Amino acid sequence: MAVAATEAAFSIFHPYSSPKSQSCYKSVPSPRTYISASNPTFFLKSPLFSLPLLSTPQPLETPRFKLRSTLGNAIVEEDAEQAQKVNQKRKLFVLNLPWSFSVVDIKNFFGECGTVADVEIIKQKDGRSRGFAFVTMASGEEAQAVIDKFDSSELSDRIIRVEFAKKFKKPSRSPPAGPPPGETRHKLYVSNLAWKVRSNNLREFFSANFNPVSARVVFDGPSGRSGGYGFVSFATKEEAESAISLLDGKELMGRPISLKLSEKNADAFENEVEETNETCFD
């Protein structure tokens, strides 16, 4: 009787259940909540499905102030480089100027193309002009106008050259008063040569009255231009001295040359000459 009453009561609360169905309910595990360690998202897991309870959080916004700061520094550096290039394009190198030309003369001459900001005449130790100068204009456009108008033009019976100066460390020293290492004793040091004089011109000049063994014009290494001096060697000292007596002060291609007998040996000459930083040009 007691068992029958219990079954009757159970059927009242579970009208559709049966022992078989009860066993099915017991075999199904209850849903559980899981949290993923790699992705902070809640999941409701069961044998039938996995349902996310929370959406994946949005990624953190990347700070922008560092990028802006780096970009600003790059812009400042680029502006500084650009300003340096502009300043370089304002400076000109002028060759073969008349010896008598002063700073005022150069400013007045090139002032036809704009404002001359600075003039630097390169001089020898005795204060005389070496025939070339650096001229800085107020702008790159004015500097280009000077080149277009005056380069290869005639000034006081001289053909001047005007071009942009690429780099200038310090004025080059005056030509040394002696031969470079390896030269012989019976040699003349020829100075004040015109810029266009070449070794063959120098040889022909002396060959008209003498028989030189060799003749050469010295060129500046960085710029590739004539240094304005050279050397002529003879077989005997007597012939070299005769050349000085006859040709010293004579004109070669429009300029009076200066002759001097080189008495120093190669070792003494090498010890006397100092290394210099020459100017480089485009």
pLDDT tens digits, 212-251 = 999 999 887 666 688 889 999 999 988 998 999 899 999 9
Please check whether residue 190 is in contact with residue 263, taking contact to mean a CB–CB distance below 8 angstroms: no
pLDDT in tens, 263-282: 654 334 434 333 333 333 33
pLDDT at 94: 92
Residues of the chain with CATH 3.30.70.330: 87-167, 187-271
Please check whether residue 153 is in contact with residue 159, taking contact to mean a CB–CB distance below 8 angstroms: yes
CA distance 8 to 11: 5
Residues forming a β-bridge with 188: 232, 261
pLDDT at 30: 52
Domain 87-167 = CATH 3.40.50.11890 = no
Weakly modelled stretches of the chain, pLDDT under 70: 1-88, 167-185, 221-224, 263-282
Quick one: which of 130, 100, 102, 95 has its CA closest to 116?
A: 102
pLDDT at 223: 65
Instruction: Look at residue 67 and give its three-state secondary structure.
Output: helix
Quick one: which of 182, 183, 193, 180 has its CA closest to 233?
A: 183
pLDDT at 16: 46
In the DSSP assignment, the letter for residue 43 is E
b/e code 231-247 from CB counts within 10 Å (16+ = b): bbbbeeeebbeebeeeb
Share of the chain above pLDDT 90, in %: 33
Burial class (CB in 10 A: 0-12, 13-18, 19+), 253: middle
pLDDT at 155: 87
- Residue 236: C-alpha distances to residues 11, 130, 187, 247 (Å): 145, 32, 9, 17
Hey, what CATH topology would domain 187-271 get?
Alpha-Beta Plaits (3.30.70)
